[in-house]
Structure 1
Amino acid sequence: MKELKHLNKYFKKYWLKLLVGMIITVVAKIFQLVMPSYVQKSITTVENFIKGEITQELAKERLLEFILIIIGAALLSGFFTFLMRQTIIYVSRYIEYDLKNEIFDHYQFLSLSFYKKNRTGDLMNRISEDVSQVRMYTGPALMYGINTITLFACIIPIMFFTAPTLAAYTLIPLPILSVLIYQISKVIHKRSTVVQEYLSTLSTFTQEVFSGVSVIKAYAIEPQINEELKALALEGKQKSMDLAKVNAWFFPLMILLIGISNIFVIYIGGQQYIKGEIASVGVIAEFVLYVNMLTWPVAIVGWLTSIIQRAEASQKRINEFLKERPEIINEVDEDTPIKGKIEFKNVSYTYEDTNIEALKNISFTIEEGQTVAILGKTGSGKSTILDLIARLYDVDSGKILVDDTPIKKLNLTSLRKSIGAVPQDAFLFSDSIRNNIKFGNDKASDEDVIQVAKSAVVHNNIIEFNKQYDTVLGERGITLSGGQKQRISIARALLKDPEIYLFDDCLSAVDTETEETILNNLQKASKAKTTIIVSHRVSSAKNADKILVLDQGRLLQTGTHEKLNSVEGYYKELYLHQLSEKEN
């Protein structure tokens, strides 16, 4: 259970509620134990009446008293059992809430490279299905475990005190049961781990299918995907059945062994009564009740074992991610105001997952308030520069300075709050258009939202929708065109009003006329702001204060549009090529 030690901090947090729950559990079981002894007394009273040792009136009086005590104890036991569930099960929900928050906070804390190595479905499964399995350990398993321990601790001494020989025979099957549980639990642990891991595989597959449903429909491969899901589901069913087959041994074995105990009670107890070693038949009845009271606790041992094994398998998977350390660490606690000067000094960077060298000894300076365009072929390292400025990755060699300060010496939150980034693949949330734009500044007014939408040339499209700015978008903005998603992302960045704008080929899905309008609006909105525009089009770059031309991670050319267009090179070739395309 070493993996479950991670939960000890939560048990300490809610120790008082758990202590109250444990006390209530013990009280509930004590009231439950009243019934067998008073059943024995009731039967003994009837025997004494039959033998003529007591009168009918006294027998009735005693029986009525005993029945009332049994009913009262049962009601009190039920009441305290209800309170027990209200405390311990509630604590398990609090722990579930805390654990989910811990995992989610850690997910957000981890670096971008972590998400490139792990699938979304697996991440979701660990924070949902795995946490649910762990909750069963912190709630039901704990509650029934205390129940079981309390009953064993109370009933077994009472049985030995009442009739030692009969108690010894009655409890013979229990050690056998313990050995069987130990052996079976080891198998359960292994198979539980396999099942939980396979659930992640299934979640990942379905998540990818739902995300890519438009592609699936476009290629008409629904039958193929369905067959793949069937194959996964069948394999998952087989793994679950392997686990279920082991679990299925528990209850039959327990019922068998409890049945044997009952036989011992009746047979051995009957012989002792005949020999006069037991004073009353009521003792046999009392023992039968004790054995049956132990039936559920003994049976629950198997269920508890299964829950604990599943919980440990799930917590182990959770701990694997919680032990992950982010590559990007905030080394400065105090806020560091950002103005906007950016300098790369001999920067090189290689992507760890692909081993592609994206940048090779790059050096350049962007002054505060300048607009700089970065051009180059696909894979030339343009987007990597933006990622490094936002410190989504750290450089392999060289230095990045912001306001003449090494980027690692800046507060990470301050740096990213000062940046308004628009990625090439615009991401929109399943929320209203208004809230998607206000994601950059949730305190902005509706007038501000409309103003930035106009600057991004998307206002006219929005007001054509039935609910206009209150239109709720599908997942990832699937209800919008590519150009509309890009322009809403631009509006979001403009509303944030940061010190640095990073536009990563964010006009690729709009026509040249709309692009020209947006660029003019961006020039006004980003005045005195450091702006970096990554593009494949010369039209997006020609009005920039400086243009950087990249090729295969190297800086080929630097200068203004006029300077670069006056010399032979990549920029001039690209400009003439795009100009001829426009004329045609």
Structure 2
Amino acid sequence: MKRVLIKYVSKYKIYVIIPFTAMLLSIALDMFNPYLSKIMVDRVIRGKEKELLVMVLLGIGGISITRSILGYINEYLFDYLSSLVSIDLKRDLFRHIQSLPFKYFDGMNTGELMSRIGEDVDNVWRNVSFGTRIFIENCIYFITASIILFKINYRLALISLVTMPFIAYFALMLEKKIDKAYEKISDQAAILNTTAQENIAGVRLVKAFARERHEILKFLEMNKTSYKLNMEQARIIANHFPVMEFLSNISIIIVISVGGMLVIGERLSLGTLVEFNGYMWMLIWPMRMLGWITNVMAQSSASAKKIFNIMDLEPEIKNSENAVKLKEIKGQINFEDVSFKYNDEYVLKNINIEAKPGQTIAIMGTTGSGKTSLVSLIGRFYDVSDGKVLFDGVDIRDMDLKQLRENIAYVSQDTFLFSETIEENVRIGNIDASLDEIYEACKKACAHDFIEEFEDGYKTIIGERGIGLSGGQKQRISIARAILKNAKVLILDDATSALDTETEYQLLKNLYHGDKKITTFIIAHRISAVKNADEIIFLENGRIVERGNHDTLLKKKGKYYEVYCEQFKDFEEFNRQVI
């Protein structure tokens, strides 16, 4: 929590100074109220000095009005400050999450990250807005009132403070226990969010397999765990709050009893006892609030830990100190003795590939052979374990990361579309593209015709992750997005798997015979998608077991030939065509 106060709150000094000054002035004015009560009792009521009545009432009224104005300034500006902190914290957290590598997201749930950005940041906001402000305010009240009480009657002041160490002890015990409880609640909230997010996103699958009851029961079980943790937190609070309130009430009883005897013995005026009691409440109220403040601050502290656990993660993949920026991009890719480990297991071993500018490299292989891992290394989504990947002769680890990824258009096997219009989804490839350029990219991707058939055409809003479109339509929009990027390297990771052979043939023909040939890596399982590549690489267990062009590999009668024979009937007609 200290980091939030130092890093974020300190940026807005003006929004700290003004409300803090208003708070001090309000407290200073409040300190006159018990004294005015003393004058009212001793001089106006008992002393019959009626001329002071108007002055005392005006004083109390003036203090109340002024404190109301100062309270508004204090409350509003502290809320405004906390909102600024919340905005900055969410922005920095989101920006940092964006900088983290693929590997981090491989083991992280979306629901947990949503909890950190939403609920946990809101807990920090609540602490800055209320918790910290009230803690500081109560500390000032406690210290100032204590000094005044000792000046009024130090013996009575000592008596009033007898229970304070016990209250402080219970507050510390509460803080330790409640902090652990909130950490568990925060973790469970993330699990609950993840469960809900996954089920809502996958509701069609749940319904298709008639799993509604099972998923409801699973969610109820998670919810039950959350309930138990919250009840545990409530039990901790219930065990401590009443004790702290009882001890603070004991202080009042002792002061009134002892003070009353002093008044009876005429060693203390009644007005002074009333005054003392007024200041006494300025001690008791902070001690009563201590439990609530501890609760808010513990909740905020647990959330801040979760947030900064993410913020403290150093991105494994980032620019080197003297990152190289290429003046001219050609698009040559070389793998030199590349090996890649994932979770301490080799996924790729001794890979050597040379893709000259404009060439097409096709990659085939069984499931789990390392195809996607191989192309992921080109964009530096992961770093190689051994060897190096070169982009135009420069090791990509030494190349400017932004320039590298700007010159690579990647279409993954997991097609993702945003809940936007088709036009906006395609425009992601190039935000400055004109409509004509978008149309042209869609035509090359064989998407223009079916888009025009929609009632709103390119302005059609598609559902989350492309709901409402077929698998082939989503793939073609994704490919159009990549084409529009006009990058020097294009990677198609099983990006035509949902297309029929005729559409796939036309799309690949457009890519192969375009005005500007770009270096292309195609991962595919169908011969139709790879047969015209300059080189076909066949992977098995992370190693290259065959390589060559279509005709060469057929003559070898190896792995590629086996796949060809299995698909031959389906491609009999295709083989008679010349692309």
**What is the TM-score with the length of structure 1 in the denominator?**
0.93
One of 21, 24, 28 as aligned partner of 1:23: 21
1:425 is matched by which residue type in structure 2? D
Deviation string 1:107-137 (CA, Å, 9 cap, x unpaired) is 1111111111222211221222222222223
1:449 is matched with which residue?
438
2:338 is matched with which residue?
347
1:375 is matched with which residue?
364
Name the SS for the 1:248 alignment partner. Answer: helix
Contact 2:248 2:288 in 1 (8 A): no
Range that drifts further, 462-471 or 421-430: 462-471
1:229 is matched with which residue?
219
1:41 is matched with which residue?
39
Contact 2:44 2:52 in 1 (8 A): no
Task: Tell me: CA distance 1:373–1:498, structure 2 relative to 1, closer, same or farther (3 Å).
Answer: same
1:171 and 2:161 are equivalent in the alignment:
yes
1:427 is matched by which residue type in structure 2? F
Task: Find the aligned partners of 2:544 and 2:249 in 1 and give their Cα distance.
Answer: 83
Task: Find the aligned partners of 2:205 and 2:505 in 1 and give their Cα distance.
Answer: 31
Seq. identity, %: 35
1:33 is matched by which residue type in structure 2? M
Task: Find the aligned partners of 2:67 and 2:75 in 1 and give their Cα distance.
Answer: 12
Deviation string 1:401-432 (CA, Å, 9 cap, x unpaired) is 11112221211111100001111111111211
One of 517, 520, 545 as aligned partner of 2:506: 517
1:568 is matched with which residue?
557
Task: Find the aligned partners of 1:509 and 1:206 in 2 and give their Cα distance.
Answer: 29
Task: Find the aligned partners of 1:515 and 1:310 in 2 and give their Cα distance.
Answer: 55
Name the SS for the 2:67 alignment partner. Answer: helix
1:341 is matched by which residue type in structure 2? Q
Q: Where do residues 465-544 of structure 1 align in structure 2 (5 Å cutoff)?
A: 465-525=454-514, 527-544=516-533
Task: Find the aligned partners of 1:6 and 1:39 in 2 and give their Cα distance.
Answer: 42
2:78 is matched with which residue?
88
2:385 is matched by which residue type in structure 1? D
Name the SS for the 2:415 alignment partner. Answer: coil
Contact 1:25 1:146 in 2 (8 A): no
1:542 is matched by which residue type in structure 2? K
Contact 2:167 2:248 in 1 (8 A): no
Name the SS for the 1:453 alignment partner. Answer: helix
Range that drifts further, 300-309 or 572-581: 572-581
2:266 is matched with which residue?
276
Name the SS for the 1:440 alignment partner. Answer: coil
1:359 is matched by which residue type in structure 2? L
One of 290, 306, 309 as aligned partner of 1:301: 290
How much has 1:162 moved relative to structure 2?
A: 2.0
1:276 is matched by which residue type in structure 2? E
Task: Find the aligned partners of 2:5 and 2:67 in 1 and give their Cα distance.
Answer: 30
Task: Find the aligned partners of 1:146 and 1:538 in 2 and give their Cα distance.
Answer: 72
1:417 and 2:379 are equivalent in the alignment:
no
Task: Find the aligned partners of 1:175 and 1:137 in 2 and give their Cα distance.
Answer: 25
Name the SS for the 2:428 alignment partner. Answer: helix
1:147 is matched with which residue?
137
Task: Find the aligned partners of 1:552 and 1:171 in 2 and give their Cα distance.
Answer: 75
Task: Tell me: CA distance 1:445–1:429, structure 2 relative to 1, closer, same or farther (3 Å).
Answer: same
1:32 and 2:30 are equivalent in the alignment:
yes
Q: How many residues were matched structurally?
A: 571
How much has 1:104 moved relative to structure 2?
A: 1.4
1:105 is matched with which residue?
95
How much has 1:564 moved relative to structure 2?
A: 2.4
Task: Tell me: CA distance 1:184–1:567, structure 2 relative to 1, closer, same or farther (3 Å).
Answer: closer
How much has 1:381 moved relative to structure 2?
A: 2.0
Deviation string 1:429-471 (CA, Å, 9 cap, x unpaired) is 1211111100111111122212211221122222232322222
1:265 is matched with which residue?
255
Contact 1:250 1:299 in 2 (8 A): no
2:405 is matched by which residue type in structure 1? R
Task: Find the aligned partners of 1:4 and 1:311 in 2 and give their Cα distance.
Answer: 11
Task: Tell me: CA distance 1:527–1:575, structure 2 relative to 1, closer, same or farther (3 Å).
Answer: farther
Task: Find the aligned partners of 1:434 and 1:39 in 2 and give their Cα distance.
Answer: 72
1:117 is matched by which residue type in structure 2? G
How much has 1:342 moved relative to structure 2?
A: 0.9
How much has 1:395 moved relative to structure 2?
A: 1.3
Contact 2:323 2:398 in 1 (8 A): no
1:434 and 2:423 are equivalent in the alignment:
yes
1:14 is matched with which residue?
12
1:65 is matched with which residue?
55
1:181 is matched with which residue?
171
How much has 1:7 moved relative to structure 2?
A: 4.1
One of 223, 232, 235 as aligned partner of 1:242: 232
One of 259, 278, 289 as aligned partner of 1:289: 278
How much has 1:583 moved relative to structure 2?
A: 5.2
Deviation string 1:157-212 (CA, Å, 9 cap, x unpaired) is 22222233333323322222111212222111221211111111212211221222
Range that drifts further, 301-310 or 496-505: 301-310
Name the SS for the 2:513 alignment partner. Answer: helix
Contact 1:494 1:525 in 2 (8 A): no
Unaligned 5+ segments in structure 2 are: 574-579
Deviation string 1:198-236 (CA, Å, 9 cap, x unpaired) is 111212211221222121111101111111111111111
Task: Find the aligned partners of 1:185 and 1:234 in 2 and give their Cα distance.
Answer: 25
Q: Where do residues 317-332 of structure 1 align in structure 2 (5 Å cutoff)?
A: 317-331=306-320, 332=322
Task: Find the aligned partners of 1:159 and 1:550 in 2 and give their Cα distance.
Answer: 84
Q: Cα RMSD (Å) of the superposition?
A: 1.9
Contact 2:38 2:275 in 1 (8 A): yes
1:43 is matched by which residue type in structure 2? V
Deviation string 1:328-356 (CA, Å, 9 cap, x unpaired) is 2211445334321111112121222xx55
Task: Find the aligned partners of 1:202 and 1:543 in 2 and give their Cα distance.
Answer: 49
Q: Where do residues 72-83 of structure 1 align in structure 2 (5 Å cutoff)?
A: 72-83=62-73
Name the SS for the 2:453 alignment partner. Answer: coil
Range that drifts further, 546-555 or 481-490: 546-555
Task: Find the aligned partners of 1:516 and 1:199 in 2 and give their Cα distance.
Answer: 49
Contact 1:347 1:361 in 2 (8 A): yes
Task: Find the aligned partners of 2:200 and 2:243 in 1 and give their Cα distance.
Answer: 44
How much has 1:94 moved relative to structure 2?
A: 1.6
1:316 and 2:305 are equivalent in the alignment:
yes
Contact 1:45 1:63 in 2 (8 A): no
Task: Find the aligned partners of 2:154 and 2:393 in 1 and give their Cα distance.
Answer: 86
1:131 is matched with which residue?
121
Contact 2:170 2:244 in 1 (8 A): no
Task: Find the aligned partners of 1:510 and 1:445 in 2 and give their Cα distance.
Answer: 27
1:406 and 2:395 are equivalent in the alignment:
yes
Contact 1:185 1:306 in 2 (8 A): yes
Contact 1:22 1:146 in 2 (8 A): no
Contact 1:121 1:205 in 2 (8 A): yes
Task: Find the aligned partners of 2:45 and 2:98 in 1 and give their Cα distance.
Answer: 73
Range that drifts further, 214-223 or 449-458: 449-458
Contact 1:4 1:315 in 2 (8 A): no
Contact 2:152 2:276 in 1 (8 A): no
Unaligned 5+ segments in structure 1 are: none
Task: Find the aligned partners of 1:150 and 1:329 in 2 and give their Cα distance.
Answer: 47
Task: Find the aligned partners of 1:192 and 1:42 in 2 and give their Cα distance.
Answer: 48
Name the SS for the 2:337 alignment partner. Answer: strand
Task: Find the aligned partners of 1:151 and 1:409 in 2 and give their Cα distance.
Answer: 59
Deviation string 1:464-517 (CA, Å, 9 cap, x unpaired) is 323222222222112211111100000100111111111111110010011111
Task: Tell me: CA distance 1:70–1:6, structure 2 relative to 1, closer, same or farther (3 Å).
Answer: closer
Name the SS for the 1:345 alignment partner. Answer: strand
Task: Find the aligned partners of 2:360 and 2:5 in 1 and give their Cα distance.
Answer: 52
